Amino acid sequence: MTSLKISDQDKNMVELKKLGSDWVLADADSFPADASKVTPILDKIAAIKTNRLVTRTSDSHKRLQVAADDFLRKVEFTLSSGAAHTLFIGSAPGTRATHVRADQQSEVFLASDLSSYEVGAQETSWIKTTYVSITQTEMIGLTVTNITGTLQFSEGRIWRLDARCPARGRRSTRARSPRWSARPPMSPCSSRWASRLSQNMAWTSRRPSSPRASSRAISRSRP
């Protein structure tokens, strides 16, 4: 397979494409997909057999949720030959059994080891959300810097906060900004900022929930 487009009944849709040996999200600036999530689904689709026939009548498609306008998942995929196929994934009458139907066919079959919840129709279902995972015992220091200064934590027997701040100037006498103005970044010298950070320090750094959010953040940071 060279591409995979997945839709659900809530009109969510995600498209994956293969670039070389890697899978990427086509609508998110080729954001890398997690191959460990993509490959098992491709294998399960390829392994669907036609020896467990449920019905041959199209009147049952809506009831089994494999109709063209009533489905749990619609999977459109393209092969390396250029041939395009569509598979409808529907309800599950039992454990390890899911109704499936190929487009342009009336027959509905039971597929083993494939369920609609495994085939997510949102980008977050197909990406790695963890950049790096570090246990607290491995960390010996943490430094956070923004345009107002630096906040540094160091670890001994207990964690110590060492804030290195720019010199404080005289209080500005300018008029206050309108209420709708954007606030400047909170200074790490602020006790409120330090308290908030120390209370919410996490040892696992995670990616944004959406690759689009990541792309927008990157584009905004460019000069």
pTM: 0.61
DSSP characters over the chain:
--EEEEEETTS-EEEEEEETTEEEETTTTTEEP-HHHHHHHHHHHHT--SSSEEES-GGGTTTTTEETTEESEEEEEE-TTS-EEEEEE---SBTTBEEEEETT---EEEESS--GGGS-SSGGGSS--EEEE--GGG--EEEEEETTEEEEEEESSSEEEEEE-PPP-PPP-SPPPPTTSPPPPPPTT-HHHHHHHHHS--SEEE--SSHHHHHHHHHHH--
Per-residue pLDDT 10s for the chain (223 aa) are 899 999 999 999 999 999 988 999 998 888 999 989 999 999 999 999 989 999 999 999 999 999 999 999 999 999 988 899 999 999 999 888 899 999 989 999 999 888 898 999 999 899 877 777 788 778 788 888 888 888 887 776 666 666 555 544 444 444 444 444 444 555 555 555 555 555 554 444 444 455 555 544 444 444 4
